[in-house]
Chains A and B, each alone.
Chain A
Amino acid sequence: MPILTLKFKDNVIKEYDLEKGKSLSIGRREENNIVIDNLAVSGHHAKIDSVGEGFLATDLQSKNGSFVNEQFISTHWLKHGDVITIGKHSIVFEYKDGETKPETANPQENMDQTMVMDTNSYKSMLAKSSPNAASPDISKEPVGVLSYVAGGQGEVEISKKLFKIGKASTNDIVVSGFLVGQVAATISKRPGGFFFTYSGGTSKPKVNGVSVTESVQLKDFDVIEIGSAKMHFFVK
């Protein structure tokens, strides 16, 4: 397994053995595996993880940054001879003589490639990477609601991706009124929110008192007026 040599200028301070499956932390605080007692070094400055056959250096968003071969890094796959600079100290990453080195610096090059994970490995990887991460609940989507102020009663959920309002009986909300369109307006649910769009009819629908001639994004408690109906919009 490779070793890390901690140096200050040209003086070797200490050597550390890397082991497969073990992480090493670097920082000013004493609980780190590699302690560098210098004010230029953050409490928890960087870490080196064993990943597959290789080792990955990661800066822990330190104040003064971490550098490998004088390049600023956030993460870096270590290869033989790399010099990590932290403050005024340097750490040299080297394989021992005769030791087999991984063929590519980045054994996980395929990580760049898209991959899919099933729910279980998703959860376990997340737990490792970020202990507090919640697994997403895809069933919990925001639901838009229209609540009648006039021209009707109660609440209507926007149950469709493209929700139609107008005079025709095929609409999701049927409204009456002179010159109101057969389909007067639609509300579409997009990843970015709910959008209210004028569709037809001479009498233009209004949102917050302003005639809509094209499309507006709805906000909570916007007031929609179409023909005889007046409704509040909100997201549940």
Chain B
Amino acid sequence: MVVIESKGISDVGKKRTGNEDAMFLDDSMNLYVVADGMGGHQAGEVASSIVVETIRDYMKQFKGKGVTEELEDTDESISRGANRLVSSIHLANNGVYGLSQKNESYEGMGSTVSAVLFTDESLIAVNVGDSPIYLIHKDEIELISVPHTVLAEQAAIDPDRAKNLAPRFAHMLTRAVGIGETIKPDVCETPYFKGDILVLSSDGLSDKVAPEEILKTVGKEQTNKACSALVDLANERGGDDNITVIVLKVKDKKNQKGWFAWLMSKIGKIV
């Protein structure tokens, strides 16, 4: 059992007329998604909303206890929950890519996606593109998503060389949902603790606000205040892009131990 308090804001920013970001939060499913769409006209908005809705609808079927059919090609290196989330992103990719092939005005549209799912044993963070997922544990902030940008990938190989890359590479993605027939999301699965905080955002926030500033803001504020404080900060600094932020706090976490483990823990205390 996990209890999560969450808040999300999606703001158009100061320069754009439309909002190409989309988000989804559900504390009963423990599922949180940010998608940052791209493509001319309204295509970016279409792409990001398809992504968010597909993930939501696919994951919804697991909410009840009814067993439903699952997609094949499960990856043994990740848990069942992670496999489901990855499957939902594959479905979203098919949806966006399919539409872009059929409709000329949607040609080349795509979207990033960053999704977090809590299961009893771990938190699962899956991403494609450059929308960051930060994990804050005991006053330390850590990026647990993998930025799929030319700049980040070059920096991983040779930090010095990356510094000399033209600034445009900072926004150039190497992967995005809906651009090709297949997609490879990055998956991170890790245990979590009561008090941990996660921040999911679009690059409209991360371009303007440094991780240390995010850490400071969410550390001292309630989730809803932290969320609006972060959006305000990005807007004060120009608000060049759409800004979407989800802040979530793990309020409580109860391990569902079996009676045996419970008994052993009691014995352990006596011993």
Q: Which residues of A contact B (CB under 8 A)?
A: 75, 108, 111-119, 122, 125-126, 129-130, 132-134, 136, 138, 159-162, 179, 181-183, 186, 188-192, 195, 197, 199-203, 214-215
Contacts and interface: CB of A to CB of B under 8 A. Distances in A.
Interface in B147-205: 150, 153-154, 156-158, 161, 164-169, 171-176, 179-180, 184, 186-191, 193, 203
Contact of A122 (B79, B130, B174, B257): B174
11 contacts: A75-B166, A114-B36, A118-B180, A134-B157, A161-B77, A161-B187, A179-B271, A182-B260, A188-B188, A201-B265, A202-B267
Contacts of A182: 258, 260-261
Nearest to B167: A75
A58 to B, nearest CB: 8
Nearest to A74: B167
10 smallest beta-carbon distances between A and B, as pairs? A202-B268, A188-B190, A162-B189, A161-B189, A136-B153, A116-B176, A116-B173, A197-B191, A111-B168, A160-B77
Nearest to B15: A112
B169 A161 contact: no
Which residue, B150, B167, B168, B191, has most C-beta atoms of chain A within 10 A?
Answer: B191
Contacts, number: 141
A160 B261 CA distance: 24
Interface residues of B, number: 62
A29 B184 CA distance: 48
B150 A126 contact: yes
A197 B82 CA distance: 19
Given A111-B171, A188-B122, A192-B142, A200 B157 contact: no
Which residue, A108, A129, A191, has most C-beta atoms of chain B within 10 A?
Answer: A191
B47 to A, nearest CB: 11
B144 A191 contact: yes
B112 interface: yes
Given A113-B241, A179-B267, A179-B271, 16 more contacts: A114-B36, A115-B173, A116-B172, A116-B173, A116-B179, A119-B174, A133-B158, A136-B154, A136-B174, A182-B261, A189-B188, A191-B144, A191-B145, A199-B191, A200-B261, A202-B271
